[in-house]
């Protein structure tokens, strides 16, 4: 069975085509800068030359159409026709309390995902666009949704409830849901395998740091706390999201600037974070460059960002009364040598000892970056949400065929 995995973000779309007979990747790729005139489609067919195409891609339907064109392209393609894709798996950020695991897409599932738009204003609509675009381009092909919140459904009440009137939870399910669950689940398991130790015995802090970023305290293989909240806005400072702030700022600013609810939501989700502080970019690579050139705003943005990651690691060590493993993953976590270094060199009180040489190695493989005598193992593990999504999709579609 060939499965197309789609991970639709607000301005990007990642895809991987799996052959599930051996879980091999036939092709993968990424559409970046959706909504701009210089969108970049990078297509990587296995065993063939990579292709990069720059064109104007204004929304997700066009993005998926271009991807399907690439997959069936005579020169760069890996399949003869779209019909040989038997199922599509989608990453969806928010599954609320209704989705504790992955599910087949039907009208009920779509309605439920739409109901959850309020909770993930930046992401669920994008996932929905991905689902609709796949439906339009591949009518009749079964689709599965895999939720980023599902892994965190093991959190105890004391972590997921907010200290506000209970009626808000009862009426609107206002609570912490977390995100990046598929990634946190995958890298915590992969960490245990890498160390050859049982997951049940480990206290792991997983740092998924990409354009969106979250930390999770994984104790005995279960998420017991995570930094993203009811929406992906809470927790760490991110590319364009504010992360934690005093909630009283929201009504204060709304009143002063006469902002509507939509405007304040957009301000916190799309106009804050690294972008707001640096005034330059939401991209950690550009921030690091700016810092190296001595730009004070980029430096401040980096320092705030790093400081908040470190504070969260400390708080999760406290939450679990210790930490055995720290894992870095996702775009920034896997690639920013300087961020990892700055965070880790100030965690010596936990017994963390960084091996600077190991830390500066660039690789696509899981690897250790802590020194041999470090009390805490520090690993970099490239996340593989797509594989988890492909496996879930395969399992669910097969079960529904029976």
Partner 1 sequence: MYFKKIGVVGGGTMGQGIAEMLAAKGLDVLLVEKTPEKLDYSYRMIETSLDKQLEKWGITQAEKKLILNRIQKVTHFAELSTCDMVIETIIEDLDAKKEVFTQLDQVCPSHVILASNTSTLSLTELASSTKYPERVIGMHFIHPVSKVDLVEIIRGLKTSDHTFNETKRFVEEVSDKKGIMVYESPGFVTTRMITLMINEAMHLLQEGVASAEDIDDAMRIGYNFQHGPLEMADRFGLDSILAALERMFREYGELKYRPSIVLKKLVRAGQLGVKTGEGFFKYDKDGDRV
Point out the residues that are catalytic: 148
Which residue lies nearer to partner 1 by CB, 267 or 325?
A: 267
* Per-residue tokens: 232: 């992906």
Q: Does 257 bind partner 1 (CB under 8 A)?
A: yes
Site for partner 1 in 15-74 (CB under 8 A): 35-37, 58-59
Q: Does 297 bind partner 1 (CB under 8 A)?
A: no
Cα distance from N-terminal residue to C-terminal residue, the chain: 15
- Tell which one of 174, 199, 250, 264 touches partner 1 (CB under 8 A): 264
Which residue lies nearer to partner 1 by CB, 206 or 282?
A: 282
Shortest separation between residue 18's beta carbon and partner 1, angstroms: 30
**Which listed range, 90-98, 177-185, 206-214, 253-261, lies at the site for partner 1 (CB under 8 A)?**
253-261
Which residue lies nearer to partner 1 by CB, 270 or 368?
A: 270
Shortest separation between residue 132's beta carbon and partner 1, angstroms: 10
Which residue lies nearer to partner 1 by CB, 26 or 116?
A: 116
Applying CB under 8 A, the site for partner 1 has a residue count of 16
Which residue lies nearer to partner 1 by CB, 124 or 226?
A: 124
Shortest separation between residue 307's beta carbon and partner 1, angstroms: 25
- Tell which one of 62, 266, 297, 384 touches partner 1 (CB under 8 A): 266
- Residues 6 or more apart whose CB falls under 8 angstroms from that of 377 comprise 191, 195, 324, 325, 326, 368, 370
DSSP label of 393: H
**How far apart are alpha carbons 93 and 123 in whole angstroms?**
6
Buried b (16+ CB within 10 A) or exposed e, 281-317: bbbbeebbebbeeebeebbebbebbbebbbebbbebb
Q: Does 11 bind partner 1 (CB under 8 A)?
A: yes
Half-sphere exposure of 363 (CA within 13 A, CB side): 13
What sign results for the dihedral spanned by CA atoms 184, 186, 188, 194? negative
Q: Does 245 bind partner 1 (CB under 8 A)?
A: no
Which one, of 129, 131, 216, lies nearest residue 176 by Cα? 216
Shortest separation between residue 250's beta carbon and partner 1, angstroms: 13
- Asked if 215 contacts 227 with a C-beta cutoff of 8 angstroms, the reply is yes
Q: Does 267 bind partner 1 (CB under 8 A)?
A: yes
**How far apart are alpha carbons 194 and 213 in whole angstroms?**
23
- Asked if 155 contacts 225 with a C-beta cutoff of 8 angstroms, the reply is yes
Give Cα separations from 136 to 133, 221, 294 (angstroms): 5, 39, 49
For residue 225, the cross-strand partners are 217
Shortest separation between residue 38's beta carbon and partner 1, angstroms: 11
Q: Does 110 bind partner 1 (CB under 8 A)?
A: no
Shortest separation between residue 35's beta carbon and partner 1, angstroms: 4
- Residues 6 or more apart whose CB falls under 8 angstroms from that of 75 comprise none
- Tell which one of 259, 280, 371, 387 touches partner 1 (CB under 8 A): 259
**How far apart are alpha carbons 267 and 269 in whole angstroms?**
6
Shortest separation between residue 11's beta carbon and partner 1, angstroms: 7
Q: Does 321 bind partner 1 (CB under 8 A)?
A: no
- Tell which one of 43, 76, 270, 308 touches partner 1 (CB under 8 A): 270
Q: By the criterion CB under 8 A, which residues form the site for partner 1?
A: 11, 35-37, 58-59, 257, 259-260, 262-264, 266-267, 270-271
């Amino acid at each position: 069975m060939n499965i197309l995995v789609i991970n639709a973000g607000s301005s990007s779309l990642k895809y991987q085509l799996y052959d599930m007979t051996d879980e091999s990747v036939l092709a993968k790729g990424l559409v970046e800068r959706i909504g701009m005139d210089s969108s970049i489609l990078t297509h990587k067919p296995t065993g063939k030359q990579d292709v990069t195409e720059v064109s104007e891609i204004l929304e997700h339907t066009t993005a998926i159409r271009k991807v399907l064109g690439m997959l069936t392209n005579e020169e760069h393609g890996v399949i003869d026709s779209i019909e040989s894709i038997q199922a599509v798996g989608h990453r969806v950020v928010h599954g609320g309390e209704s989705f504790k695991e992955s599910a087949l897409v039907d009208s009920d599932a779509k309605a439920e995902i739409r109901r959850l738009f309020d909770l993930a204003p930046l992401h669920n609509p994008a996932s929905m666009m991905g689902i609709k675009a796949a439906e339009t381009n591949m009518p009749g092909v079964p689709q599965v949704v895999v939720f980023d919140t599902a892994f965190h459904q093991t959190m105890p009440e004391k972590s997921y409830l907010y200290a506000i009137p209970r009626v808000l939870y009862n009426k609107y399910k206002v609570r912490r849901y977390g995100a990046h669950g598929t990634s946190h689940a995958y890298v915590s398991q992969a960490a245990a395998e890498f160390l050859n130790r049982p997951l049940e015995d480990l206290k792991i802090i997983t740092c998924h740091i990409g354009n969106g970023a979250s930390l999770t305290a994984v104790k005995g293989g279960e998420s017991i706390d995570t930094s993203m909240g009811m929406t992906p806005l809470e927790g760490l400072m991110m590319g364009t999201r504010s992360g934690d702030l005093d909630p009283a700022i929201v009504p204060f600013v709304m009143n002063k600037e006469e902002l509507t609810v939509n405007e304040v939501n957009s301000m916190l989700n799309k106009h804050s974070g690294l972008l707001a502080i640096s005034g330059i970019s939401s991209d950690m690579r550009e921030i690091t460059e700016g810092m190296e050139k001595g730009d004070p705003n980029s430096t401040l943005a980096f320092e705030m960002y790093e400081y908040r990651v470190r504070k969260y690691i400390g708080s999760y060590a406290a939450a679990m009364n210790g930490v055995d493993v720290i894992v870095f993953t996702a775009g920034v976590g896997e690639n920013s040598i300087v961020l990892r270094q700055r965070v880790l060199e100030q965690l010596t009180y936990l017994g963390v000892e960084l091996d600077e040489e190991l830390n500066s190695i660039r690789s696509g493989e899981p690897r250790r970056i802590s020194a041999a005598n470090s009390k805490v193992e520090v690993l970099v593990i490239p996340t593989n949400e797509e594989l988890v999504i492909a496996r879930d999709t395969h399992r669910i579609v097969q079960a529904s065929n029976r």
